[in-house]
Amino acid sequence: MKARLLLLIVAGFVSIAANAQFHLGLKAGTNVTKVDGKSFKNEFSYGYQLGAFAEVKLSKQLTLQPEVLINQYKTALDSNYNNLLGNALSGLASVKMEYLSIPVLLNYKLGGGFISLQAGPQFGILFDRSNSFGQNAQNAFKQGDFSMLGGIQLKAGIFRINGRYFIGLNDINDLTNDSRWKNQGFQLSVGMTLL
């Protein structure tokens, strides 16, 4: 039963892809992020974004845009963070995290199709934490992050310029239960279709 359902879903996607206009591309950009919650300063820090995207035309107005990205998020700490982890981390000012992120966006074209509104979920898998914050902090952050994205995309020939805002929906604090930590920030990127 499960195999038949899986086969039906795959056949549906293949049928949509065969009849749809399809593009693949690469993108790069910057992340301006912070972690919201106790132990973090209320200020944004810069990181980077690298990855690939696909565009599948669903209709005249709608395009599905799945992506695979490496996102670096940085955030500034306050003294509460050191209190959680002990004196071994005194003087630590920031944390750097890298996620393998998979956003799945729905693009809605406005007017002539050069501008699209974007919205959708993003799932991130934490795969690297800054080694500078010691052994005690290695397990401070949960391995997964679920966010919602919203933004705008400008299309100029083979180029795509994106501006997005994302907000984390789940608590990424894996250290204590008394404080909720959530990623949030802005993403600016430039992409280019290759196919």
One pLDDT digit (tens) per residue for the chain, 195 residues = 556 655 665 565 556 555 558 899 999 999 998 776 555 556 678 899 999 999 999 998 999 999 999 998 877 665 555 555 554 444 556 677 788 899 999 999 998 779 999 999 999 888 755 544 444 344 555 567 788 999 999 999 999 999 999 988 776 555 566 666 777 889 999 999 998
Measured CA to CA, the distance from residue 75 to residue 170 in angstroms comes to: 17
Is 186 part of any domain?
yes
Position 1 in a domain: no
CA-based nearest residue to 118, from 187, 164, 78:
164
Structural domains of the chain, count = 1
150 within domain boundaries: yes
Range of the domain at 35: 21-193
In-domain check, residue 3:
no
The whole-number pLDDT of residue 102 equals 93
Q: Answer whether residue 179 is part of any domain.
A: yes
On whether residue 9 sits in a domain, the answer given is: no
Please report the pLDDT score of residue 162 as a whole number: 97
CATH number at residue 161: 2.40.160.20
Question: Would 67 be classed as within a structural domain?
Answer: yes
Asked whether residue 44 is assigned to any structural domain, the reply reads yes
DSSP SS3 for 16: helix
Tell me what pLDDT residue 137 has.
45
pLDDT at res. 146: 82
Give pTM, 2 decimals: 0.74
For residue 149, the one-letter residue type is L
* Residues in CB range of 99: below 8 A, 6 or more apart: 70, 71, 72, 73, 124, 125, 126, 127, 145
Report the C-alpha gap between 113 and 111 in whole angstroms. Answer: 6
